Amino acid sequence: MDSDEILAEVFRDDTLKQLSFTVFKPIDIPLEILDRMLQVFNEIPGRTFIDYDSTEYNT
């Protein structure tokens, strides 16, 4: 991994309807970079939380 790359994971918790992210090296992430990461995450399929209380999952 090059020095200008950031390895991060965004975790989606459908039960709690929360997002969290982890970086794998202690770094200061500029707010603009974090904002762009979340924008990209919101643009990809799979961003919508799963509603486990719906009848679709309780049959």
Has residue 32 been placed in a domain? yes
User: Tell me, what's the pLDDT at 29?
Assistant: 76
Determine the average pLDDT of the residues in 8-17: 79
Has residue 22 been placed in a domain? yes
Q: Which domain holds residue 21?
A: 8-57
What are the CA-CA distances from residue 23 to residues 10, 11, 36, 52 (Å)? 9, 11, 15, 28
Question: Could you identify the residue written with the tokens 């992210």?
Answer: 21
List all residues 6 or more positions away from 52 whose beta carbon is below 8 Å from its beta carbon.
14, 15, 58
Has residue 14 been placed in a domain? yes
User: Tell me, what's the pLDDT at 37?
Assistant: 76
Query: What's the total number of domains in the chain?
Result: 1
Has residue 42 been placed in a domain? yes
Has residue 2 been placed in a domain? no
Instruction: Tell me what percent of the residues of the chain surpass a pLDDT of 70.
Output: 71
Determine the average pLDDT of the residues in 31-47: 75
Pairwise CA distance, residues 2 & 41, whole Å: 22
Is the pLDDT reported for residue 13 higher than 70? yes
Has residue 39 been placed in a domain? yes
Give the pTM.
0.42
